[in-house]
Chains A and B, each alone.
Chain A
């Protein structure tokens, strides 16, 4: 009778603990590794500063490059819609904020749920469009590896189960809430060992690009 509840209690307790441990250890380990490798000594005379241009590039690369947009408009549009929708769903939904608050000791204001709901729908549509684009575009298909499908699924499942849970489309509710948590746990476990790490490495890479160009005194 109470299996869905037992399942929910498991994924809310031990399951979440295990996934979070793997996630944190994995992410810290990989970042530590990247930073500790360092970079070779540049013997050239510096022609500018590294820090300022590095930070600036982190910001300026948020604006899409016009050439990429002309060549692959779909990639750019889907990419932006998906990422913005995902961030809204993840960071501005009050129940999620409560979890962050419990973890880090501080929270922030959330958005009204109809707005988050709309963002979630946009995210899900964008993810489906991304899947279709990846499967139908010859170039995309050529450069897609098994890991890409896995990462897509790991991102899609929390969105889908979250949407179903919020709208109570699965009976009983503890089952779908448990599945939502389980899918998030899968994402957390896969995160450090897949391309999902770009969430963090993206900023390191941008900073290095900007810093290197700054050192050479060129615009980035």
Chain B
């Protein structure tokens, strides 16, 4: 449960020195993608910060988001979860606890009414509540009930933020994102499939540090992480501007690390922090591994055309349209030609020879 001790007190009790605290603050600033000049402000805020209670609900999802979070490393997720937030309910991690877990959720909701943070991963099926239930409670009911007393909601992953894979055409379960059900609470969308681990913890750290949500973009995503496109932050961008592209996955350009636009990279329309935060403890990220961006942090990315088609290529069959159009145009043109021939013929028939005498008579 969330306790009333501030983070500063709790750290000191654990024998953490000021230097250690400063280091923790530097890492946290870096984690939140805030400039290092913010470190004193972060230190002051963290000194006073209290452990917030966190309830984590998982709906129609693949657990990839939780997998991603448990691999975040800065600060270690253990320290973040166990020292600085009170994760009172996470049904995937607590699944073996059964009713005790449900009781913990209800207790946390009750004790921290209006103050707890609700984290949701997965979309919510509306076509039939039976498609996804937890302890016999439908996803939509559990979300409404738990959201009612939450201070804010963090929709983790593209499913919770935008509907994701379950919502992909033809959307058999009638999946919707959190924002279509809950309209009266602040919602942060931490999109991505999965989201970058440090982005999840960065948003949690921001709430922990400042007790408020970070500045959001039009899609409700934190500006610090989703403020710039993959394309604009990509280290391969100079190749795009120079017109140097990989044409296949094994050609000279691919080996030299040229731009992957022609291989279907969706970097220009994708907003995420992959290019700087990177993955696997900073080892690399998709483009660095030689594969284009899929655009996984954007709404409807599953339906946004082939992953290997350049972004500028329409989703429909353009060649087919051109051929069909040309044939239809030719047929119509032939019909028009016949019609015009008829008109020409008529004009010729009506043509009467005029002589100079005729003209003079007319005057």
Q: Which positions in A face B, CB cutoff 8 Å? A: 1-2, 4-6, 8-9, 12-14, 16-17, 20-21, 23-33, 36-37, 94-96, 98-99, 102-105, 109-114, 168, 171-174, 177, 181
- Minimum CB–CB distance from A61 to chain B (whole Å) comes to 26
- Minimum CB–CB distance from B310 to chain A (whole Å) comes to 4
29 chain-A/chain-B pairs, Cβ below 8 angstroms: A1-B161, A1-B177, A2-B162, A2-B163, A2-B219, A4-B218, A5-B299, A9-B303, A12-B304, A12-B305, A13-B314, A13-B316, A17-B316, A20-B318, A24-B326, A24-B329, A29-B329, A33-B336, A36-B333, A37-B337, A37-B340, A96-B312, A102-B318, A112-B243, A113-B240, A172-B217, A173-B229, A174-B298, A181-B314
Residue of A with least CB distance to B167: A2
> Which 5 pairs between the two chains have the least Cβ-Cβ distance?
A32-B333, A28-B329, A24-B325, A36-B337, A2-B299
Cβ A95 vs Cβ B329 within 8 A = no
Cβ B319 vs Cβ A104 within 8 A = yes
Interface centre among B241, B243, B324 (most CB of A within 10 A): B243
Residue of B with least CB distance to A166: B268
Cβ B318 vs Cβ A16 within 8 A = yes
- Minimum CB–CB distance from A85 to chain B (whole Å) comes to 18
Residue of A with least CB distance to B271: A173
B179 within 8 Å of A (CB atoms): yes
Question: In the complex, which residues of chain B have a beta carbon less than 8 angstroms from the beta carbon of A172?
Answer: 217-219
Q: Which positions in B face A, CB cutoff 8 Å? A: 161-163, 177, 179-180, 189, 217-220, 229, 232, 240-243, 245, 261-262, 268-269, 271, 298-300, 303-305, 309-316, 318-319, 321-322, 324-326, 328-330, 332-334, 336-337, 340-341, 344
Question: In the complex, which residues of chain B have a beta carbon less than 8 angstroms from the beta carbon of A99?
Answer: 310, 312-314, 318
Cβ A102 vs Cβ B319 within 8 A = yes
- Minimum CB–CB distance from B261 to chain A (whole Å) comes to 7
Cβ B325 vs Cβ A36 within 8 A = no
